[in-house]
Amino acid sequence: MTSLGYLISKLALLRHRFKWLGKGAWVHHSAMIQGAANIEIGEDVIIGRNAMIYAADGAPIKIGARTVIHPYVLISADGGFVQIGEDCSINHFGVFHGSGGVKIGNGVRIAHNVAVVSSNHIFKDRQVPIRLQGVTSEGITIEDDVWVGGAAQIMDGITIGRGSVIGAGAVVTRSIPAYSVAVGVPARVIKNR
């Protein structure tokens, strides 16, 4: 990093008062941060340009050491929480909504355009507009050493077991056992690792 880039990064960090900011953490000056007092950032974390991290509603966000949040990722606690472990990689244009709680383990690799949304609309009553029926929020857990392929969608109430692989474009509508390979819409386990 150039000395000018380092200075801009330091200025970006100074403009926020994070709950915790680990040594060596780097936040790009164009990253959008709200509710910094509810955000913990571990050592050597990198938050890329135009990433958006929102904890303004008092809900916590925690990003573990040596994790990389690539450009244009959206992480929003939404009244719940988002917890990302150590040594993770969250690639471009990922969307993470934590209203029901999102917990991501250590060493997780998440490709571009992945959506992890821990809530779902209620739509049982045809006489009432969907927007008026409320939502459910159960939470999502992605255990350690998982790889989620590009453009996958992880639905509310799901646990993806340790060491699993989720194929690109998969829509995960039910929990996946540890060390599984799951693909398709809806995702189904096609083999074990």
Which residues are part of the catalytic machinery? 121
Find out whether 58 and 36 touch, Cβ atoms under 8 Å: no
CA atoms in the 13 A half-sphere facing the CB of 122: 11
CA-to-CA separations, 167 to 18, 88, 133, 158, 170, in angstroms, rounded? 35, 18, 32, 16, 6
Radius of gyration of the chain (CA): 17
| Residues across the chain | 193
Give, in degrees to the nearest 5, the angle at Cα 38 between 37 and 40.
95
